[in-house]
Structures are given as structure tokens and as C-alpha cells.
Structure 1
Amino acid sequence: MSIFVGNLPFRAEQEDVAELFAPFGEVANCALPLERDTGRKRGFAFVEMVDDAAELKAIDALQGVELMGRPLRINKAEPRSAGGGGGGAPRRNEGGYGGGSYSGAGGGGGYGAGRGAYGGGAERGSAPERGSGAKGWEDRSYGSGAPAGDSFDAGRTRRRRSGSSEA
């Protein structure tokens, strides 16, 4: 089992965190993850203790304790999940914040949650529900299938798709 230590001051070092947990038992490992791009600490740590009972005792005793002026959030660390998550820029036709996929698995929520070319959850290889009618152009209207001549058509705009070199 591992312990997650959140709301950690950025100036805290491994020794500070290990020293905080030492009264509850022997600390087997203490890690303060760093940001990949900047190399700075991320504001949390993972602590592993030799004895599971000592870990549970430390979690109960240290919840909310202040370290360098910040109240710590301490709980049992959850294992990493394998899917979902919207890390980085979304790929084409996938949801934004929540990840997503062509098959509708994963993700959901945030902008772009509806997957597929026009937010309709289209499967890979199937045609979008409605097109703009002009190759290389993207329909930027909102709403679906308004009849021709409707006042809705007056507000429609079209924009050149990025990456398309066709006229």
C-alpha cells in the first residue's frame, strides 16, 4: 500500500516528508514527483511504509496536519487507471477534457464530449450525420437540420478547415 500526500508545499523535500512519517514506523520509500517540462515539484508525494498497520495509523494521525503552513491531505493512494483522461490535446474526432474514442468508450464531459465528426458519436469509417456540402469547408452552424429559408440560415457561417489545401 502507498500513501498519497497532497497539498504539499513546493519547498518541501523528501527528508521533510519522511521525517513527518517517521514517528509512525519505518519509511520504505518517499517520492516527490517532478513536472516533466520544468523539473519543479508538483505539490504532492507518495510515501510507502514497511508495515501496513503503521501506514493506516499515519493516515489517520496526519490528516490535516500543517507542514510549512499548508494543511496536508493524506489518504491511501489509488492505483493508476489505464484509460480515460484527457491528457494533452485531443486527437481528431475525440472528446476534449474527458478523452473519448470512436467506439464511445471512455471520456465524456467537457467540450467535445460527443465523439464523431459532428458530435454525433459516429463510428470509425461511417459518414457524418450531416455535411456542409462543400469539400474542404466546415459547417460552423449550431443546431441541426433547420429547413431552408428559415431565419436560422441567416446566421450560418462557414470556415475553411485547417490543413485542407483543396478549393
Structure 2
Amino acid sequence: MESKLYVGNLSYNVTEEQLRELFSQAGAIKEIAMIMDRDTQRPKGFGFVEMTTQVEAQKAIELFNDHELDGRRLTVNLARPKEDRGGSRGGSRNRY
């Protein structure tokens, strides 16, 4: 089990500091990443919190999934690994 969490349904007003304060109740935080739109530089409404242990990550899920923060109910679960983005995306296939 990993210790990196997906945190979704964030209000656009929530700051990294607010997430740090909230998730530190479950244990030590290794890293926080708030995902921003690269064009507008505005928050996309989700981010990632990496706890230092799997036990702390599980505790954070139990404490904060469906927890209200800034008027919105958070979605907290284990982050899925990035999918391999390499290789072909279709293109020309030899159909002869």
C-alpha cells in the first residue's frame, strides 16, 4: 500500500497551508501538491498529500474522506500510479 493520497473536491479557495493543518492531524506529511491549471494558474480543485507511512495514510482516509472543508465534502483515497504515457496513441496502422 502506498502513502500518497488523492484529495478531490477541494474548494478553489483552499490553501496548501489549510491542507497541511488538516492532514497533520493524521500524522507527519512528506509532501503536498496542489494541482494548478497551467494556462490560468488557478487551482483545479484537487491535489495530493503524501503521508510518511501507510498507517498514517489510512488514518487520513478514515478521518477526512467525506470531511467538509470550506463548504465542500472532500474525496480522499489512495492515489493511483501515473499511467505510462509513452508509446503510440494509435496513428497509422497498417491494415493491408
- What TM-score bracket applies, with the shorter chain setting the length? 0.7 to 0.9
What TM-score, normalized to structure 2? 0.86
Shift of the alpha carbon at 1:23?
Answer: 1.1
Residue 68 of structure 2 corresponds to 66
Deviation at 1:32, TM superposition (A): 0.2
What displacement does 1:24 show? 1.0
- 1:42 equivalenced with 2:44 (yes/no): yes
RMSD: 2.0
Which residue type is aligned with residue 101 of structure 1?
G
Distance 2:10 2:82 in 1: 20
Does 67-76 or 20-29 show the bigger shift? Answer: 20-29
Q: If you compute each CA radius of gyration, which structure gives the higher value, 1 or 2? A: 1
**Amino acid corresponding to residue 90 of structure 2 in structure 1:** S
| TM-score, normalization by structure 1 | 0.51
Distance in structure 2 (CA, Å) of the matches to 1:43 and 1:33: 7
Spell out the pairing of 1:71-150 with structure 2 (5 A cutoff): 71-83=73-85, 100-102=89-91, 123-124=93-94, 126=95
Pair 1:13-2:15 in alignment: yes
Match of 1:151 in 2: none
AA of the residue aligned to 1:25: G
Equivalent residue number for residue 87 of structure 1: none
Any gaps of 5 or more consecutive residues in structure 1?
85-99, 103-115, 117-122, 128-167
Aligned partner of 1:24 in structure 2 is 26
The answer to which structure has the higher strand fraction is: 2
Query: Once the two structures are superposed, what CA deviation does each residue of 1:61-109 show, in whole Å capped at 9, x if it has no partner?
Result: 211000000000000000110149xxxxxxxxxxxxxxx514xxxxxxx
Render the CA deviation track for 1:24-76: whole Å, top value 9, x for unaligned.
11111111011111111110010011121011111112110000000000000
Structure 2: give runs of 5+ residues left out of the alignment.
none
CA shift, 1:16, in A, is 0.5
Corresponding residue for 1:160?
A: none
